[in-house]
Structure 1
Amino acid sequence: MTSPSPSSEVSTNPETWRRRKRTIAVFAAVIPLLHPLDWLALGHWSPTALGVRLLWSAQMLLYTVLYQALGPRWEQRLANANSVAACCCFLALIHFTGNERSPYLHLLPSMPLIIALIQPRDGRPALLGGIVCTLGTVLMLLAQGQPMAALGWALLTGSATFFGVYGAAQYRKAQEAEHAVRLERARRESLEKLALAERQRAQTEKLATVGRLAAGVVHEINNPLAFVRSNLEFLRTEVLRQSLPGETHAELSEVFEETRQGVERIRQIVLDLRGFSHVDMEEPTECTLSDVVTDAARLAGVRLKNVARLTVALPPGLPGVFAIRRRLAQVVLNLLVNAGDALEEARVRGGEVRVTGVTEGARVALLVEDNGPGFPPEVMPRLFESFFTTKGPDKGTGLGLALSRELVERFGGTLVAENRPEGGARLRLELPVHPAAPSPGS
């Protein structure tokens, strides 16, 4: 498949044609309005000169009408005919305003240059116009018995024609070079997008495989976990039923309770992981951000336990949003884990991750903040790019924030990053309030 040439591309460009049409319309309007100059040149009013000007103006308007009627395929022939007709009209104007004594004779060499200015992509209209002007001038002056003047004007008009044609050729070469650069840039961008799409596809397949593996592992863990819970409850009942000293009974009761809480925590994590593995089967529904943050904080607690203190401060009555609850929890979880990774990498003592919520009109926002070093200036512009990461290859793929933003945008929200004035990073997740959700205080 061959690419269109820049000339054909520009000629069929509606905006380019509109600009050219406006230019021709301006010329067509100005030409008759300059008739007072003929009066000054002749010393009297000349209906013939005015008729030539009106004919010239009508010819230019006819060119635009024919171009619109016949289409771009006739552009070259129409442009050539328009150039020849315009030069003939100008020669006629010179003839009826004094021949060699006409003040317009000195403007004749500018005709090829004006034509090249109007038709810069092709030198043929300027060349044809220059030939007509040169021949017309020579014949007119020879008829007046001035061969030397005819030769001088022929050389002058021929030189102007040369520069007009040369300028059009240079413009065309520059346009072709620019067109080639645009094609090469578009080709490179297409290849980059294709490579990015291929990497995303491979990464998606990899994540899907990990998800299926996680679902299988969850299933394998869930069965023995049920036995552990059942047996633990049986042991607790049997042991505590026996008559034991008071301190021993209290100590064993505390041990069994802590063990039961640990097993319940494992069970909840397994349930959450199973929910994440089936998240694509869910449809968006109304959900509250407090439930979303609770789900995410429960899973993030494992990662943040020895890194930072997690604080959740959500005001009561926070409006509901329309989203997939587990998908949204996955986004918040990713933000919490990223904050923990940043604090751990910076070795911040007394690290803290804080989640707050705020309602702003028809939108509700979650702020995930930490007291770490914040985002470096050179990292900020690329933070949400796919496969961009500052972590090692064993800690990140560079897809977390990119996918998180994509998920949030699917629900009509935004995800932006900034540095806090007091230090540390802040990620702001905004979502529209669900229409059915009551506003606080209502």
Structure 2
Amino acid sequence: MCTKGREPDQAMSPGLEQVRRVSPDAALQALLTGTGAAVGPEFFRALVRQVAEVFRVTSAVVGERKPGQDTLHPLAVWSQGDFREEQPLALTGTAFEQVLTQGVFHCQEAVDTHFSEDGWLRRLGPGGFLGMALRSSRGEVLGALALLHDAPLEVGPPDLALLGAFASRLVAELERLQAQAGMEQARDFLRKVLNSIQDPLFVKDRAHRWIVANDAFCRFMNHPEAELLGKSDYDFVPSHEADVFWRQDELVFGSGQPNENEESITDSAGLTHTLVTKKAVFTGADGQPYLVAVIRDITEYTRLETQLRLADRMVAVGTMASGIAHEINNPMAYVSANLSFLREQLSQEDVTELDLVELREVVAEAIEGAGRVRSIVEDLKGFTRSDEKRLGPVELPQVIDSAQRLVRHQLQTRARLVHALEPVPPVFGNAARLGQVLVNLLVNAVQSFSVRDPERNLIRISSRTNGAAQVVVEVEDNGRGMEPEVLKRLFSPFFTTKPVGEGTGLGLAISHAIIESMGGQIEVRSTPGRGSTFRLVLPVFSEGVPPVGQGA
């Protein structure tokens, strides 16, 4: 007799001998002590053995049904006093299908005659059978626990209750394993996502130690992940660089605000890399703050950018070449003439006191002319120098003077320059790079004029403070001006309105990048036929406090 989905009859069938069970107290004690310390496969093996001994049956089986499959996978099989290996069981037409469908299925005897295709029954216990479905806390069927006996198997309500206790313990372990598998899948998925990111990425804990590092970061550091995790910057880079990284990380930890800055790092070969690092802080499940960072190695980009800026300066020097030559030739002409006159006079034997006064004046003029040449050469050296990395205090009046001396010849022949320069504090930046911007703006202003009386062409350069933290420099002209369509593309690389051969289209794009790299802004307003005004907003230099966006 087989029963499905209900408690079996308590009355014994004629001729059937009830199997003697251990006491309920002993059974529960066995459940607690036999499976308390085990997990995973060992847990299932310990439990089926305990079940078989408690119910004193030939075999006990626990199997798992995986989602979407019509198969029962054995987790542990105890039979005839030993563990056995069984292949997965196709459920259709089996006693285990009845267990999973009905929840509880009991057949007192000759169970194999009802399920002739069930291979597990023939091998493990063809007599009595009792099975109970393992349901999760959400009602999902996770598998089955079954008792198989080679003799009739009579059970009552206490037996079902006891089997239910074992089943509950099984469900708890299966749900734990499912949660663990889910976590491992999520961890594996996250790992694949992180490793698919081509930029180096890492996560640090509050002690500034790496706890996550993707493959790109490991390659960048030239160390495997196992050597990086749990360590800090101080274990791999020079201490002065690690100090910078620590301060930048601490700034993000302390403020809770994202940060982007430029940093330098020396690799194991002694080569210095320039990095742009984006950092943000988040709170983990444990309530502790963590810092995530993505870094980009811009060493090659910076090198090319430096070369491009220098090339643009050479283009500007080429544009100013005739004017510079004129500025040098003029003083050199009278230096040469005065020296020739001096030589002639000194060759005479009767040099009078009056002659000596005149000779002193000639020497003074020659020295003055040589000084003008030296000044022009110094301006050119400052304009073309390549100390791009050094950022610090810049005296703006000196930069303005140097820039206008370099374009003085063009200004003298094409326009009239006026000043409105107020006293301003030093700004944060690089003198050569800032000079490059001002030369570009002055040359563009000169080239904006049509052929007309130079006295009508006006260029105005002004400077003033804008609050306590900014200095404003403006270069204004009353030239042709620009249409709105031109203004939209003005700072785009290679965009130019000049004829072929007169411009590269890089000057303003590079100027824009230079000013932003110093933490400033460049703005322009223009009216067709009335001229243009370029406005530089520069941060005031403050010792130890770089402008927003600048690294330490």
TM class, shorter-length = 0.3 to 0.5
* TM-score (norm: length of structure 1): 0.45
| Structure having the larger proportion of residues in strand | 2
| Structure having the larger proportion of residues in helix | 1
* TM-score (norm: length of structure 2): 0.37
